[in-house]
Amino acid sequence: MKSSKKVLTYFLILLMAFFIVGCSSNSSKEEEVVGETTTVGPEDGAKLEMWLFVDLHQQFYTEMLNKWNEEHPDKQIQINFTVYPYADMHTKLTLAIQSGEGIPDMSDIEIGQFPNFLDGEVPWLPVNSYVEPYKADLVSSRLDAYAKDGNYYGVPTHVGAMVMYYNKEILEQYGIDYTQIKTWDDFTAAGEKLKEASNGEVFMTSVDTGGADWLTLAMSQYGESWVEDPENANVQLKSIENMLTMQQGWLESGIAEVTPGGQIDTEEGYATVANGEVAAFPKASWYMSRFTDYMPEMSGKIALAPIPVFEEGQARSNGVGGTGTVIYKESENAELAAEFMAWAKLSEEGGEKIWDILGFDPVNTKVWSNDVITHNPDNKFVQYFVNNPFDVFLEIQDEVNLIKTVPITTTINEAFNLTTLNEVLENGADVKEALAAAQEEVDFEQE
Amino acid sequence: MKGVQSILFSQKAAPYIFILPFIISLSFFWVYPMISTIIMSFQDIGTGYSEFIGLANYEKLLGDSVFHTAVKNSVLYTIFTIIILIPLPMLCAFLLNSKNVVAKRTYKSIIYLPALVSVVVSGILFRYMFSEMDSGLMNQILNFFGIDSTQWLKNWGTGMFALLLLATWRWMGVNTLYFEAGLSSIDKVLYESAEVDGANAWQKFWHITLPLLKPTRIYVTTISIYGGMAMFLESYMIYGGNSSPKNIGLTIVGYLYRRGIEKNDLGYASAVGLVLLIVALAISMVYLWSSGMFKKEDK
Amino acid sequence: MSQNNTEPNQSSLFDASALVATKKVKKNKDGKRSLYKVLINGFFVIMCAIVAVPFVAGLFASFRPGQMLIRNGLNLQLDFKNWSFTNYGYLFDGSTGYLDWYKNSIVITVISVLLTLIICYFVAYGFAMYNFKFKNFLFFLVIATMMVPFEILMLPLYKEMISLGLIDTFAGVILPGLVGASTIFFFRQFLSGLPKELLDAGRIDGSSEYGICVKIIMPMSKPAFSAMAILSAMGSWNSMLWPLIVLRSADKFTLPIGLNTLMTPYGNNYDVMVAGSMFSILPLFILYLIFNKYFVEGMTAGAVKG
């Protein structure tokens, strides 16, 4: 029986470990920090469950919720926020919808995932009537992004206008004036000059193999869209071909490099920017917060500007990314939730917080021209960048197109991000052939 | 009452009672979901609707080039892991048994350690060891030998290498232990009599060790086939998600996950799953049958 | 003879038996043999070193700021100026649910190991000790379940868990995995190796079938139990996909899910991710160090008879 004693001993060790861990985590609970679930609002308020995938968004919702509860003593709300990683949240939401159980009252959904959640019988509440009071001031393309059959199912967060981020310090050092760059030809010429002047140390820009932002930008500039006809997507477009051919040329002549990490919004991408490896790159407005959060050392060096175009007169921007908040229509408090969410994200005061906390360009354009908000000297974004971001946003206000996200978009993005862009930019494949192959992959899904 | 008790306690009933938990679990957590999957594979399923579409899902699979890539990756991964993870551990076990090994238990313990680490943690470690940055370990090694840094996780060959290295690292020790156990069961008398007959080390290995390790080999190969064909999380962690450039890390299960969970296409995903099942079952059944596994009971 | 001189330094690091072994070699003046010995031990020392590399690199990274892992990758550089213990501090200051995850993993692992061992032992006993109708067919099913990747059954199983009301519970995580085919397979291998005469002897002594199983055979199966305890503890501690689907609330997460949630660039998660990863290996390492002997014994005992 000697060994059974031993087994007992091990079991006791396990138990001990359990208690040690158990106790220590209890003590941490007393300090009111529990996991990633946070409850905000009074106990007697209407209780809502909300899922999100970005930590910072929770801070924004929390502030708006506290404000709401102050202003509406008769409509108290308590929200239980759970933050999941991006992929897990969308997976969990899919599974919940399939089973019809455990669907949260509200959830953020990323724009690229949104079509998946509009398939078949839509479980969400149309928010048209809740959006109505603010509609005149909104960038309407953002509402359309989350619409189906004339119903708006998602409350948008931002416009996501693309701008060119220039590293002014480097460019000045090598005698380049970025404000004079109007077309891609100017951009390429500046790149040549930079290469010469820096002995190839600094690339003018970096091109992406893991993201389609450059391509949607090109489509926007030519006024094309690969999902012009959502049932019959076509990726063999002049805009895409021109963009990819131009990028291949940059790579060949050493003006550009392929972005480490696949695209600039990755940890590797931040390192590339922070090391001054690239002098410019186009990215959406929300990339400003990446600068303040992950590259504080670049403060005062980065300027925003409209993006160059192929031909004068083309649109100098494009709306990229986004988060739509959906409200579960079977939820007990669906209407209250919709009312709150529309106010939180679409009102002017909501827009102000979206700018202050998240650094986004709010959907409510009243905010854009409100100098008190946009030129607030205490704002960290105003302090960080060389020029005022809203000066640029206002300049391109009417040029922010949107390439709609439809069900087939997932397949297109997959084909480009996984295969086509790698073939063209890493392996130097023929652009036309690569696009034909991509079209084949897309057609397979839409026969 | 006594009658019932005597039946329950009879030698005839006992085996059924022993295996009862298996039967219950089998029906709840295997047969039922299995049948659901089969049914779903003939359906088009979306949120709130489902309709029978016959063999359409399977027909689509035939022309699906991404699926073919996934099958190719899974099958090659399985073959490579078997090529590496059968002979190498066998050799290790054989060498460990040598009288000349001075710290057998220490070696064994260290080689086994990686098996204790979860796919999540080991995947994180390997992902960043194979970083494309010059300061990543694998690139440092290349640079040390005067070779330029490479983007390990962007090309098929190097990506597969990363996956295989991870598999070898994790399973080397486990398989060595299996073979070591198999070796220690071989009667030493056999070797001694072979020595009397003048056999050298190689002949002993070829004529005694190898044939007598057969049961172990069957077991290890079987679990390797299964593990290889069902590989998913390793690739998921190494590529930081279910998407890899040019789908070089996509496996059959990865494709099932992409279709079923990421794209919410349960019907098509079920068809992918069933094809995987049929392929894996066929390979392992043929293997087991050819090695006489099912005849053993009679002997 | 130079090999003999370098030998003790190299191997005594690992094992006391090295000294004894070296003495033997000195007696045995056969040069070829000692060369062989150096080669074979050198092979294993190098292999152990290679095996250790990812651990060491991970440990180094856990002392550096988390961002460096992503920006620079893992390496073996001793850049002490970047090192600190702050990452480990984050694990315990309650800023993440790390300790909750740790506790949950322990609870789930302990419960499922205990239940799995008992149930699988009984099932395997039935298969190994008796001949009965459909036995071969049922055992074929055991193997067949091993051959079915879990992911195929995942979605229907999830629906089932909902209708059973087991979603977001530990029971939902544990139940489907309780009757593990590989564990049954392993126990059966072990039990088949025991002489059947033991059963007859027990019956003559008047024990019931269950009495024999529990009182006679079970004590003899301890090595198999220890081996399976470790193996199933490993499986449970490290399992990821199923818990991720069943568990909803962040305070019920297990370690692998929790660590995976940290792989996002938003928030200072990398610090916790790398330190948390290294720290999560610890319990299994400790168990392995204690159990090691039984583990190897159990493994050996089980795989003896094919």
Count of C-beta atoms within a 10 Å radius of residue C131: 8
Residue A67 has pLDDT above 50, yes or no: yes
Domain B64-298 has CATH 1.10.3720.10: yes
C-alpha distance from A35 to closest chain C C-alpha (Å): 4
Task: Based on the fold, state whether residues C297 and C162 are members of the same structural domain.
Answer: yes
Choose among B102, B229, B261: nearest Cβ to C15.
Answer: B102
Domain presence at residue A167: yes
Q: What is the pLDDT of residues A141-153, one digit of tens each?
A: 899 889 988 999 9
- Which candidate, A238, C3, C19, A373, places its Cα nearest to that of C11? C19
Q: Which of A53-62, B57-66, C102-111 has the lowest mean pLDDT?
A: A53-62
Task: Based on the fold, state whether residues C43 and C121 are members of the same structural domain.
Answer: no
Could you tell me the pLDDT band of residue C2, with boundaries at 50, 70 and 90?
very low
Query: What's the pLDDT score for residue A20?
Result: 44
Query: What's the pLDDT score for residue C306?
Result: 36
Domain count across chain A? 2
Euclidean distance between CA atoms A374 and A368, whole angstroms: 7
- Give the torsion through C-alpha atoms of A391, A395, A398, A400, to 10 deg: -70
Interface test with C, best of B5, B6, B18, B171 (most C CBs within 10 A): B18
∠ CA C102-B121-C151, nearest 5°, is 90
Task: Based on the fold, state whether residues A100 and A137 are members of the same structural domain.
Answer: yes
Domain count across chain C? 2
Task: Based on the fold, state whether residues A259 and A242 are members of the same structural domain.
Answer: yes
Euclidean distance between CA atoms A6 and A12, whole angstroms: 10
Helix (H, G, I), strand (E, B) or coil at B43: strand
Euclidean distance between CA atoms A41 and A44, whole angstroms: 9
Q: What is the pLDDT of residues A370-392, one digit of tens each?
A: 999 999 999 999 999 999 999 99
Task: Based on the fold, state whether residues A180 and A313 are members of the same structural domain.
Answer: yes
Higher pLDDT, A384 or C160: A384
Which stretch of DSSP H or E encloses residue A250?
Answer: helix A238-253
Query: Is A441 near chain B, with CB under 8 Å?
Result: yes
Chains near A with 3+ CB pairs less than 8 A apart are B, C
All residues of chain B having their beta carbon less than 8 Å from the beta carbon of residue A94 are 261-262, 264
Whether A266 and C265 lie within 8 Å, measured CB to CB: yes
**Model-level ipTM above the cut of 0.90:** no
Domain presence at residue A47: yes
In the stretch 240-259 of chain B, residues with CB closer than 8 A to chain C read 240, 253, 256-257
Report the percentage of chain B scoring pLDDT > 70. 96
Q: Give the burial string for A141-163 (b: 16+ CB within 10 Å, else e).
A: bbbebbbbeeebbbbbbbbbbbb
Residue C20 has pLDDT above 60, yes or no: no
Instruction: For strands A147-148 and A77-83, give the pairing.
Output: unpaired
Domain presence at residue A8: no
Task: Based on the fold, state whether residues A305 and A407 are members of the same structural domain.
Answer: yes
- Which candidate, A204, A209, A140, A147, places its Cα nearest to that of A170? A204
Euclidean distance between CA atoms B251 and B163, whole angstroms: 11
Per the document, the length of chain C is 306
Residue C81 exposed, middle or buried by CB count within 10 Å (0-12, 13-18, 19+): exposed
Task: Based on the fold, state whether residues A128 and A187 are members of the same structural domain.
Answer: no
Q: What are the strands, taking DSSP E only, across A111-217?
A: 147-148, 151-152, 162-167, 205-207
Per the document, the length of chain B is 299
Residue C302 has pLDDT above 60, yes or no: no
Whether B28 and C150 lie within 8 Å, measured CB to CB: no
Euclidean distance between CA atoms A205 and A277, whole angstroms: 8
Q: What is the DSSP letter of A387?
A: S
Task: Based on the fold, state whether residues C27 and C137 are members of the same structural domain.
Answer: no
Query: What's the pLDDT score for residue A30?
Result: 31
- Which candidate, A99, A192, B101, places its Cα nearest to that of C21? B101
Residue A34 has pLDDT above 60, yes or no: no
Task: Based on the fold, state whether residues A334 and A403 are members of the same structural domain.
Answer: no
- Which candidate, B87, B89, B88, B71, places its Cα nearest to that of B229? B71
Query: What's the pLDDT score for residue B115?
Result: 85
**Phi first, then psi: what are they for A166, rounded to 5°?**
-105, 140
Domain spans of chain B, in order of start: 64-298
In the stretch 42-71 of chain B, residues with CB closer than 8 A to chain A read 46-49, 63-66
| Domain edge (last residue) among C27, C60, C84 | C84
Could you tell me the pLDDT band of residue A31, with boundaries at 50, 70 and 90?
very low
Task: Based on the fold, state whether residues C64 and C189 are members of the same structural domain.
Answer: no
Choose among B64, B245, B263: nearest Cβ to A444.
Answer: B64
**Phi first, then psi: what are they for A436, rounded to 5°?**
-65, -40
Whether A418 and B244 lie within 8 Å, measured CB to CB: yes
List the CATH number of the domain containing C276: 1.10.3720.10
**Residues of the domain holding A134:** 37-159+321-367
Query: What's the pLDDT score for residue A27?
Result: 37
Euclidean distance between CA atoms B211 and B218, whole angstroms: 11
Query: What's the pLDDT score for residue A389?
Result: 94
Q: What is the pLDDT of residues C260-282, one digit of tens each?
A: 877 765 555 788 888 999 999 88
Task: Based on the fold, state whether residues C56 and C199 are members of the same structural domain.
Answer: no
Query: What's the pLDDT score for residue A36?
Result: 59
The first and second tokens of residue A341, run together, are 């969410």
Query: What's the pLDDT score for residue C9?
Result: 39
Instruction: For strands A280-284 and A302-305, give the pairing.
Output: unpaired
Task: Based on the fold, state whether residues A136 and A49 are members of the same structural domain.
Answer: yes
Name all contacts of C37-44 with Cβ < 8 Å and 24+ positions apart: C37/B100, C37/B102, C37/C3, C37/C7, C38/C3, C38/C6, C38/C7, C40/B95, C40/B98, C40/B100, C40/B101, C41/B100, C41/B101, C41/B102, C41/B103, C41/C7, C41/C10, C41/C11, C43/B95, C44/B95, C44/B96, C44/B101, C44/B103, C44/B107
In the stretch 114-143 of chain C, residues with CB closer than 8 A to chain B read 119, 122-123, 125-127, 129-130, 132, 135-136, 138, 141-143
- Which candidate, B286, B108, B81, places its Cα nearest to that of B183? B108
Query: Is B154 near chain A, with CB under 8 Å?
Result: yes
| Domain edge (last residue) among C19, C53, C84 | C84
All residues of chain C having their beta carbon less than 8 Å from the beta carbon of residue A267 are 67, 70-71, 265, 270
Task: Based on the fold, state whether residues A347 and A247 are members of the same structural domain.
Answer: no
Residue C243 exposed, middle or buried by CB count within 10 Å (0-12, 13-18, 19+): buried
Task: Based on the fold, state whether residues C132 and C215 are members of the same structural domain.
Answer: yes
Query: What's the pLDDT score for residue C295?
Result: 65
Q: Is the distance from CB of B255 to CB of B65 less than 8 angstroms?
A: no
Chain A residue whose CA is closest to C267: A55
Higher pLDDT, A357 or C292: A357
- Give the residues of chain B that fall short of pLDDT 50: 297-299
**Residues of the domain holding C253:** 98-303
User: Which whole-number Å values give the CA distances from A46 to A66, A129, B224, C238, in the listed order?
Assistant: 14, 21, 53, 39
For the residues of B47-60, what is the DSSP string, one character each? TTEEEE-TTHHHHH
Task: Based on the fold, state whether residues A292 and A177 are members of the same structural domain.
Answer: yes
C-alpha distance from B258 to closest chain A C-alpha (Å): 10
Residue A349 exposed, middle or buried by CB count within 10 Å (0-12, 13-18, 19+): middle
Q: What is the pLDDT of residues C196-234, one digit of tens each?
A: 888 888 888 888 888 899 988 999 888 788 878 877 888
Could you tell me the pLDDT band of residue A293, with boundaries at 50, 70 and 90?
confident
Whether C146 and B177 lie within 8 Å, measured CB to CB: no
Task: Based on the fold, state whether residues A155 and A84 are members of the same structural domain.
Answer: yes
A158 has which bridge partners?
A362
User: Which whole-number Å values give the CA distances from A170 to A190, A290, A392, B185, C187, in the listed order?
Assistant: 12, 19, 21, 71, 68
Name all contacts of C21-25 with Cβ < 8 Å and 24+ positions apart: C21/B100, C21/B102, C22/B102
Domain presence at residue C90: no
Over residues C250-263, mean pLDDT? 84
H-helix segments, A31-101? 55-71, 86-99
Over residues A204-224, mean pLDDT? 95
Domain presence at residue A179: yes
Task: Based on the fold, state whether residues C23 and C162 are members of the same structural domain.
Answer: no
C-alpha distance from C2 to closest chain A C-alpha (Å): 45
List the CATH number of the domain containing A121: 3.40.190.10
Q: Give the burial string for C103-130 (b: 16+ CB within 10 Å, else e).
A: bbbbbbbbbbbebbbebbbbbbbbbbbb
Euclidean distance between CA atoms A96 and B264, whole angstroms: 11
| Domain edge (last residue) among C23, C58, C84 | C84
The first and second tokens of residue B10, run together, are 């009879």
Contacts of A274 (CB under 8 A, 6+ apart): A294, A295, A297, A298
Q: Which of A360-369, B152-161, C16-25, C227-236 has the lowest mean pLDDT?
A: C16-25
Q: What is the pLDDT of residues B243-291, one digit of tens each?
A: 889 999 999 999 998 888 777 788 999 999 999 988 888 888 888 888 7
Task: Based on the fold, state whether residues C62 and C104 are members of the same structural domain.
Answer: no
